[in-house]
């Protein structure tokens, strides 16, 4: 379903970037100061990698020194990108297929912007409504097969539906479906 809106219409034109030679501590400080969930690693306008909040959490869990470790040691080098001419529907499809929430926008091998799910939702609230509708359709299918019991998530008693090998109530099922759509 083409939206008629291009990636260029929704992208941020000044994504926050960092050099691969900076420390993880510097990276985290920039992310906190700029209030962003990721940084693009660039060298002379060429995209080298990306580092996200999730990458920082994994790094910290290993107990490594953030002052001594360089961004290039932690960054993700396999980056999914998109062209500014692509339709937003293609961006959403790519994000869902690759399980990412951010797509650097590249034209002629040069970084020109960043597109996030938040950018898309701000630009196309109808896409969010579509996701909600799809989750309701999934819930309707799940409701067809119900049992009575205690929800494995909230522990309330009532009708339960099997979702991802768990028996959960309709409310928890809705929340889980919406969360999984947000993570895509």
Where would I find the beta strands (DSSP E) of 44-156? Answer: 46-52, 102-107, 110-116, 146-150
106 and 158 housed in the same domain: no
59 and 113 housed in the same domain: yes
Check pLDDT > 60 for residue 143. no
pLDDT at 170: 83
Q: Does residue 132 fall inside a structural domain?
A: no
Q: Does residue 128 fall inside a structural domain?
A: no
Local structure of 104: helix, strand or coil: strand
- 16-20, 138-142, 174-178: least confident range: 138-142
108 and 142 housed in the same domain: no
105 and 146 housed in the same domain: no
pTM (predicted TM-score) = 0.64
Q: How many independent structural domains does the chain possess?
A: 2
149 and 59 housed in the same domain: no
| Half-sphere exposure in the Cβ direction for 113 (13 Å, CA) | 17
152 and 113 housed in the same domain: no
Q: Note down the domain range covering 164.
A: 137-183
**Mean pLDDT calculated for residue range 59-80:** 93
89 and 174 housed in the same domain: no
**Mean pLDDT calculated for residue range 93-121:** 91
Q: What is the CATH number of the domain that holds 96?
A: 3.10.580.10
pLDDT at 25: 95
pLDDT at 27: 95
pLDDT at 136: 66
pLDDT at 124: 63
Check pLDDT > 90 for residue 127. no
95 and 159 housed in the same domain: no
**Mean pLDDT calculated for residue range 138-163:** 78
* 71-74: long-range contacts, CB 8 A cutoff, minimum separation 24: 71/18, 71/19, 71/20, 71/21, 71/22, 71/23, 71/24, 71/26, 71/27, 71/39, 71/41, 72/20, 72/21, 72/41, 72/48, 74/24
């Amino acid at each position: 379903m083409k939206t008629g809106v291009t990636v260029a219409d929704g992208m941020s034109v000044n994504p926050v970037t960092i050099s691969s030679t900076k420390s993880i501590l510097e990276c985290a400080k920039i992310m906190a100061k700029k209030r962003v969930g990721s940084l693009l690693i660039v060298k002379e306008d060429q995209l080298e990698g990306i580092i996200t909040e999730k990458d920082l959490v994994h790094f910290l869990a290993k107990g490594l020194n953030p002052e001594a470790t360089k961004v290039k040691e932690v960054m993700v080098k396999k980056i999914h990108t998109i062209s500014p001419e692509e339709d937003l529907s293609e961006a959403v499809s790519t994000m869902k297929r690759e399980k990412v929430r951010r797509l650097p926008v590249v034209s002629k091998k040069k970084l020109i912007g960043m597109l996030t799910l938040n950018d898309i939702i701000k630009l196309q609230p109808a896409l969010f409504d579509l996701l909600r509708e799809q989750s309701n359709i999934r819930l309707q299918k799940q409701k067809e097969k119900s049992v009575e019991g205690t929800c494995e998530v909230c522990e309330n008693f009532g009708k339960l539906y099997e979702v991802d090998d768990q028996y959960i109530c309709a409310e928890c099922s809705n929340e889980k479906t919406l969360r999984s759509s947000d993570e895509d």
